[in-house]
Amino acid sequence: MASAFSKWCRDKWAGEAPGKMDRGFVSDFTRFIDRFVEEHPEVAEEQRRGRLIYWDKKVDRAALAKAGEDSVPDDGYGFYASAFDHRAKH
């Protein structure tokens, strides 16, 4: 037995494909962000500067290779278990 709500939904969207989205919907949050960016254009410049600080950097390949060569292999455990090994090593 169909509920009144399911009957209303079936009647309301009878001619549309199931799962069709309303592409005209804009959330309150999206409207807020769009309005904020319009009123504060300096935000885009701050974002660009932030990206330059953390992401768009030139990599010194020689220094990166040297750092890889100078690294010490770990024991795979992560807590340096070998430093706390109680077995006598002779």
For 4-60, the pLDDT digits (tens) are: 777 776 666 666 666 777 778 899 999 999 999 999 999 989 988 888 887 777 888
Q: Which pLDDT score, from 0 to 100, does residue 54 have? A: 79
Taken in order 82, 83, 86, 87, the sign of the CA dihedral is positive
Whether the per-residue pLDDT at 81 is higher than 90: the answer is no
| No. of helices (H) and no. of strands (E), the chain | 4, 0
Mean pLDDT score, 65-73:
82
Q: What is the pTM of this model?
A: 0.38
What is the DSSP annotation of 14-79?
TTSPTT---TT---HHHHHHHHHHHH-THHHHHHHHHHHHHTS----HHHHHHHHHHPPPP-SSSS
Whether the per-residue pLDDT at 86 is higher than 80: the answer is no
Q: Which pLDDT score, from 0 to 100, does residue 57 have? A: 78
Whether the per-residue pLDDT at 87 is higher than 60: the answer is no
